[in-house]
């Protein structure tokens, strides 16, 4: 009798795990906006949440009417790189949390540094979009900065010429900047042009 009950318990447990795995696999491939939105709401602890949020935003963007007449609607394409970037974002964010105190001290020291021979600068990035992003900063050195949606992050870098690039809600942003002092870069999707808009000061 005990063996029978144990067998049934194992079967029920395996069935439950299989159903949950199937549901997760299904939602990763789904293009149904409502289903994806409901899954995000019901599974706040899911490790794939950053990817699913970007996917949901892409689905919503695809429904918006285009401004330019005669322009063909952009197909919804979910590439592997999107999921890979979501995982990379989570990893970079985790690493920056571990170094948060050290980075904060570095930023504050730079902020109040009045030494004329100082060759560093603060780059403060504001993300005014609904999507998380990784800002790639390429110059004499290479940096990756994770910036949450409707949030900001900063980094101290040597002064010089840099190429800044990112994907913001499926829109590409690339800009060459000469950074010689502390600078703020605010990024947001620019609906009329279909490209991210940057505001610097």
CATH number at residue 172: 2.60.40.2890
89 shares its domain with 121: no
Q: For position 94, what pLDDT does the model report?
A: 85
Q: For position 120, what pLDDT does the model report?
A: 94
Give the residue with greater pLDDT, 23 vs 79: 23
143 is in which domain, residue-wise? 101-200
> Could you tell me which residues are beta bridge partners of residue 175?
164
* Dihedral over Cα of 82, 85, 87, 90: its sign: negative
122 shares its domain with 85: no
Rg (CA), the chain: 22
Q: For position 68, what pLDDT does the model report?
A: 56
112 shares its domain with 142: yes
Yes or no: say if 147 and 131 are a contact pair by the CB < 8 Å rule: no
94 shares its domain with 162: no
Rounded average pLDDT over 86-114: 84
Number of helices (H) and strands (E) in the chain: give both, helices first. Answer: 5, 8
Number of folded domains that form the chain = 2
Q: For position 201, what pLDDT does the model report?
A: 52
3-state secondary structure of 7: helix
Rounded average pLDDT over 88-113: 84
Residue 153 is assigned to a structural domain of this protein? yes
Yes or no: say if 167 and 144 are a contact pair by the CB < 8 Å rule: no
61 shares its domain with 25: yes
Q: What is the pLDDT of residues 62-96, one digit of tens each?
A: 665 555 555 555 544 444 346 778 888 888 888 88
Rounded average pLDDT over 9-23: 45
Yes or no: say if 120 and 157 are a contact pair by the CB < 8 Å rule: yes
Rounded average pLDDT over 132-141: 91
Give the residue with greater pLDDT, 47 vs 19: 47
Q: For position 200, what pLDDT does the model report?
A: 54
Q: For position 185, what pLDDT does the model report?
A: 93
Q: How many CA within 13 A on the CB side of residue 69?
A: 0
Closest C-alpha among 187, 146, 144, 186 to residue 162: 144
Q: For position 2, what pLDDT does the model report?
A: 44
Give the residue with greater pLDDT, 195 vs 115: 115
Yes or no: say if 186 and 198 are a contact pair by the CB < 8 Å rule: yes
Query: Length of the chain in residues, anyone?
Result: 201
Rounded average pLDDT over 127-143: 91
90 shares its domain with 117: no
What is the pTM (predicted TM-score) of this model?
A: 0.56
126 shares its domain with 152: yes
Is the pLDDT reported for residue 136 higher than 90?
A: yes
Cα(92)–Cα(100) distance, integer angstroms: 12
- Looking at the chain, the whole-number percentage of residues with pLDDT higher than 90 is 24
59 shares its domain with 110: no
108 shares its domain with 190: yes
92 shares its domain with 110: no
Q: For position 33, what pLDDT does the model report?
A: 81
């Amino acid at each position: 009798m005990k063996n029978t009950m144990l067998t049934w318990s194992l079967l029920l447990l395996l069935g439950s795990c299989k159903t949950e795995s199937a549901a997760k696999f299904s939602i990763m491939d789904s293009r149904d906006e409502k289903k994806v939105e409901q899954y995000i709401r019901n599974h706040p602890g899911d490790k794939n949440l950053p990817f699913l949020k970007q996917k949901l935003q892409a689905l919503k963007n695809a429904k918006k009417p285009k401004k330019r007449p005669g322009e063909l609607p952009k197909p919804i394409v979910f590439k592997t790189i999107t999921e890979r970037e979501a995982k990379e974002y989570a990893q970079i964010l985790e690493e920056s949390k571990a170094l948060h105190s050290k980075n904060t001290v570095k930023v504050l020291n730079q902020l109040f540094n009045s030494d004329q021979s100082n060759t560093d600068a603060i780059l403060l990035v504001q993300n005014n979009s609904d999507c998380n992003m990784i800002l790639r900063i390429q110059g004499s050195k290479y940096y990756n900065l994770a910036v949450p949606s409707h949030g900001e992050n900063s980094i101290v870098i040597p002064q010089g010429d840099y190429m800044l690039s990112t994907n913001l809600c499926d829109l590409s942003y690339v800009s060459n900047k000469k950074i010689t002092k502390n600078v703020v870069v605010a990024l947001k999707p620019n609906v009329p042009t279909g490209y991210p808009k940057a505001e610097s000061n």
